Amino acid sequence: MFTFQKTFLFSVFVLAFGSGLFAETYKGPLELTATADGKNLLVMMYDSPEVAVINTDDNKIVRTIITASQPNGIALSADEKTLFVASGNYRSKVQAFNFADGKLIKEVVGGHSPCGLSVSPDGKKLYVCNRFNSTVSEYELPEFKLARTFKTIREPRKSLVTQDGKSLFVTNFLPNDPNNFPDDEAAVIDVACEVQIYNLADGEVTNIRLTNGSHSLHSLAISPDGKYVYVSQILARFPLPTTQLERGWINTNGLCIIDVEKKKWLNTVLLDDIDRGAANPWGVAVSPDGKQIYVALAGTHELCVIDSEPMLKKLHDLADGKVLADSYSVSKTADLVPDDLAFLVGMKKRIPLVGAGARELCAIGNSVYVGMYYNDTINKVTFTNPATTPKIDVLPVGPAVELDDIRAGDKHWNDAALCFQQWLSCASCHPEGRMDALNWDLLNDEMGTPKNAKSLLYSLQTPPAMWHGVRKTANIAVRTGFQFILFAVPDEPKCMQIEAFLTDMKHLDSPYLVDGKLSEKAERGKVVFAAAKCTECHPENNFFTDQKLHDVGSRVYFDRKSEFDTPSLIETWRTAPYMHDGRFVDMKDVFTKGRHGESRWATEPTEPQIDDLVEYILSL
């Protein structure tokens, strides 16, 4: 490994980025890939409909490929003649471009928010994750014909085909589990994401459940020998009250290791230091020789470098029941590794990057390229000598643009540098301003009263905030969040910019819509919604909330109060689990098992009516 010094020295080379191709707008470099010879780096912009191609010899943009709309994912064909791009949200396209000249070859209509593209080694299949349909599409190439659709668990974000072409790995971004067992105080609540492996011969799926509290699976990579898949993740300690941050009490950040041959979870190692978090791990890449694993730390703006060989040996030794020789690790058995902040001591280094918002990355030779989202730059980190500090070159992918309040608020939302010891950022529990699907025991309504994390969409427009309306407005909640969750002094200008970011958030069209409109079933459900007097608490003209507290009979054994704030129903389709304690994963259960709204029903809805009602609510 190289020697790392606290006084970080780097050289910055401002490099040309083309002539006249870029407008004065944000680019948001998000996803990176490269040609096999490493001579071309492809950079997908999330905030501008384009993919830039950089010649890595002189680090200049040689051409820009214009896409249909906001790109979500890219992949090169096996012969590198075709670039595939998935763009858009509810209305989306998957496009094929001639890589040499950027001309559009063919396009097809995609699913909802297509992303996570991968191509089979033989070049005959393209796989696309349809995030909000919770499916993966398999297209036959070059015809671009839809061959199969694989059902996933929840919000597939990344896919990867193994080198032998036999298996497809897919990450599910969020858990899909109930958070509460209201009739059993002693029940163990297990909420975790899963990685799915599809046998491409017969479609059979293997689900690999990760450690309790696993969520936000942003990326994955496979070792060059095909033996291991590495997945970035947040590992939340949600069963604990949020009384402190030290030693990862609330949040830790990890890398999951999966044994490809056995199709089993090997273990999860923590990227954090004992007294400093490695918040929001995002992109993952492996060096060409497989000896280093690179993880972009989005929340702390760093590159984490792990020596894979000693890490894997240590993990296998523990799995085989061997006693570790080192004195600093607390892992005496394999099951203790996900709690061990010292496990990677001597095998891990963290390199400060230039800029903010590290996202995806790509390893080429002895260099790692990291997209810095908020600076519209690429950091080229070159390891010229293992014993020296790596050199960083900064490659602009657009003109320097000053951040407006909305963009700055987005940056602060994702910035763990604003948190005590950098364990988490606002986005750690509210990715994209939504929710992590976990219950948290915040201290604003007494200890021992866990509540499901709310989506913050339209939160500033629909006071009060928190399930019991503890905060009169979300504006106040932003500032108390700094104090009592980030354990930091609120910075008023930054708080105001975060407010601008939250106010600017817009909802996505529901995947339950048909051609952008309510289906016939949902139209019937709208009638049921009115007949069942749902509109009294969820008026359509006010974000579907009356902004009042009500007792709807949902109190459980740990609650101190019976009245809860009426949540907005907009984007309910993406906010499971439901109710204040996250007890229901299925919206239908809210009415059939939870009997929600029963006191207001004139007559009890039939099951078909409930199905229609659910369809309407999930269409909002």
pLDDT at 3 over 50: no
User: For residue 483, what pLDDT is reported?
Assistant: 96
Query: Do 512 and 520 meet the contact criterion of CB atoms below 8 Å apart?
Result: no
The predicted model gives 418-440 an average pLDDT of 97
pLDDT tens for residues 243-293?
999 999 999 999 999 999 999 999 999 999 999 999 999 999 999 999 999
User: For residue 4, what pLDDT is reported?
Assistant: 32
Q: How far is CA 184 from the centre of its chain?
A: 31
pLDDT tens for residues 130-179?
999 999 999 999 999 999 999 999 999 999 999 999 999 999 999 999 99
User: For residue 182, what pLDDT is reported?
Assistant: 63
pLDDT tens for residues 75-90?
999 999 999 999 999 9
List the 125-130 sheet strands across, edge first. Answer: 114-119, 125-130, 135-140, 145-151
Phi, psi values for residue 561, rounded to 5°: -130, 160
Give the β-pairing of 220-222 and 228-236: antiparallel
Q: Which long-range contacts (CB under 8 A, 24 or more apart) does 334-339 make?
A: 334/267, 337/267, 337/268, 337/269, 338/211, 338/235, 338/252, 338/254, 338/267, 338/268, 338/269, 338/270, 339/270
